[in-house]
Amino acid sequence: MTLPKNGVAKEIRHYVGSLFIFLLIMAIIFILMKYPVLETNKEVVMMLIGTLSASIGLVISTITGSKPDDINALKTEIEKKNEQIENLVEAKDNLEAMIINLQKQILENQDDVMDKIILKAALDYDDREAALKQLKQNG
């Protein structure tokens, strides 16, 4: 029987391993409840239980495939992505400020051009009036 290569087999193996560890611990607890431990072996049994309980986290993380290095790498990657996002937001804000300044300059330039056009028209009108007056006086 061949299992698919897309990670399903890995997931199945992790679930089966976790289930096996859980059943093993339940069996040990049941045996210790059913059969009392002799006083002479009590220290050895307590040492074994302590060792098992201390290493259970490592065993389960190994079976499930979650490694602390992977988690740290993912945290580092997330921090890098957050930093990139902050840089992009800052760049976007700078671009928005540049666009706003450009729009202000365009409006100021438009006002200046309109003022120049109106001033030119006024000067042309004044010059026309002065020229007509001179023609009437000379003529």
In tens, the pLDDT along 87-106 reads 999 999 999 999 999 999 99
Separation CA 28–CA 48 (nearest Å): 11
Separation CA 115–CA 90 (nearest Å): 37
Write down the pLDDT at residue 139: 61
Write down the pLDDT at residue 9: 72
Contacts of 64 (CB under 8 A, 6+ apart): 14, 17, 18
In tens, the pLDDT along 18-57 reads 778 778 877 877 887 788 777 777 787 778 777 877 777 7
**Domain regions of the chain by residue span:** 1-66, 68-139
Write down the pLDDT at residue 124: 77
